[in-house]
Amino acid sequence: MELTLKFNVTPVPHQSVKIGRNGIAYQPKRVSDFKAYIRRLTRDQLPEGFEMISAGTPIIVEYLHYQFIYPKSFSKKARINQLPKTTKPDLLDNLNKAFIDALEGLVFEQDQNIVEVKSLKKFYGECDCITLKLSYGI
C-alpha cells in the first residue's frame, strides 16, 4: 500500500531541548507548534478509513523532499528547478526529526519501522513545502 502527503509549510528543524531557569527541559515553542500543525494537516489528508501503520510493519520512504522558497537575493536566472540547498538546517538530523516525530502515532505507530529511505532531498523551489510518499505492508 502507498500513502502520499504534501504539506505547504516551511520546514522547521528540530532543535535540542532547552533548559529553563528552573532547570526543567522544554521543547522550543516553534518546534512544538510545527509538529502540531503537521499533525493537523496530516489528519486532513489521510484517506477515508485509513488505519495507522502498525508496529512491526516495514515502511519504505519512497521520497521525502523538503523544498524551501528561493531567497529574494537569487536572480531569476539563478532559480533553477530543484537547486540544491547547501545551507542550514542539516538534512539528516534536524529536518527529519521534527517531521517524522509529528507523524508518529498518527500515520505509523513507531518510526523505528522505517527500514529504507530511497530519496531524501532539500532544495530551493517556488514555494515552501514538504512532500512524502510511503510504501508499507509489503
Tens-digit pLDDT profile for residues 86-106 = 888 877 778 898 899 999 999
HSE of 57, CA atoms in CB hemisphere, 13 A: 18
Q: pTM (2 decimals)?
A: 0.88
Confidence of residue 134 (pLDDT cuts 50, 70, 90): very high
pLDDT of 28 reads 84
Locate the domains of the chain by residue range.
2-136
Q: Which fold has domain 2-136?
A: 60s Ribosomal Protein L30; Chain: A; (3.30.1330)
What would the pLDDT profile of 9-65 be if each residue is shown by its tens digit?
999 888 777 777 888 888 888 888 999 999 999 999 999 999 999 999 999 999 999
Interval 105-125 mean pLDDT: 93
Give the lowest-confidence range in 2-16, 68-82, 115-129: 68-82
Query: Nine-digit cell at 62?
Result: 519512497
Peptide bond into 84 cis (omega under 30): no
